[in-house]
Structures are given as C-alpha cells and as structure tokens.
C-alpha cells in the first residue's frame, strides 16, 4: 500500500489544500492528513482544525486525519509512510520548502518529499488570507468550504 502524509496547520483548511489532497489521492492508496499541534500561532485549536478537516473529507475512504506533535519525519516513520506531500503555490514558497525538504532528507533519508501545485484557480489562496478577509467581513466562499467559513466567522466573533 502506497501511503503518504500531507501535514500542516490547516488553520483553516482551504480549497487549495483540498485540491492538493485530491491530486494526491490519484497517486497514493492512503493519505494521512497530519494536523500539527506545534503551529506558529493559530486561530483554531488542534482539535478544532482536525474536526474541520475530518468534516471536509468525511466521505473520502482513502483519507485519514490525525494530529501530531513530533517531527514530521518521525510521524511518517511511525505510520509507515514513505512520502511527504507538500503543496507549493508560488516561487515565494520555494525557499522555505527547499530548506524543510533538505532537513527532512537529512533526518530521514528514506522518506521522499513530493510537491503538488493546486489548480490555478486556487494558487493564490492561503489560510492567512482567508482569516484576514473573514476578519473584515469579506466573502470567503471561494476560499474555503462552507463549513469552514461558518466556523471561521463564529471563531472571529468570539475573539
């Protein structure tokens, strides 16, 4: 079974993330979406982010959502995943992704990283932009699924 991990903070999950996962399901038998507990700073808790991701992918049999708090390569080893999937939107992502990939390769030489680009219609989307636009009462329906938009608006009202 070809198993891969797609990890991130997913704060919140966007149509771009979903598109990358959709592409990955064509290449792998099982995709584990790893929701990191060690994010920079997040609006949603790890549990809330995991629930949103699970809701979005509730009908996808190839996808499993799990939280993790270790090094990504240790998480991959523990689950027997030989591949890490990374989404790349633009050249501006490249420097960070290259550094991360080379460090992961140093830590776990047997685990490969592949980069998948979302569709052109999602290439500009980021979780940060979705949160910023939502915080200013802008329309985010084209950025995130409806369930995520509702959760985001609710969370921002409490803040």
Active site residues: 17, 40, 89, 127
Q: What is the dihedral of CA 38, 58, 122, 134, to 10 degrees?
A: -70
> At CA 101, angle to CA 109 and CA 10, rounded to 5?
120
For 69-146, where are the E strands, in sequence order?
Answer: 83-87, 112-116
Task: Collapse the DSSP code of 60 into the 3-class scheme (helix H, G, I; strand E, B; otherwise coil) and give the result.
Answer: coil
């Amino acid at each position: 079974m070809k198993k891969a991990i797609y990890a991130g903070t997913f704060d919140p999950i966007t149509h771009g993330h979903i598109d990358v996962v959709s592409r990955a399901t064509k290449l792998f038998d099982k995709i584990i979406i790893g929701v990191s507990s060690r994010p920079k700073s997040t609006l949603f808790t790890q549990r809330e982010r995991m629930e949103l991701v699970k809701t979005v992918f509730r009908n996808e049999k190839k996808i499993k959502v799990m939280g993790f708090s270790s090094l990504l390569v240790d998480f991959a080893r523990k689950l027997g995943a030989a591949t890490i999937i990374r989404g790349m939107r633009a050249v501006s992502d490249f420097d960070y992704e290259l550094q991360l990939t080379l460090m992961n390769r140093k830590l776990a030489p047997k685990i490969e990283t592949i980069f998948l680009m979302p569709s052109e219609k999602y290439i500009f989307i980021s979780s940060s932009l979705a949160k910023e636009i939502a915080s200013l009462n802008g329309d985010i329906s084209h950025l995130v699924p409806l369930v995520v938009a509702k959760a985001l608006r609710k969370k921002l009202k409490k803040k």
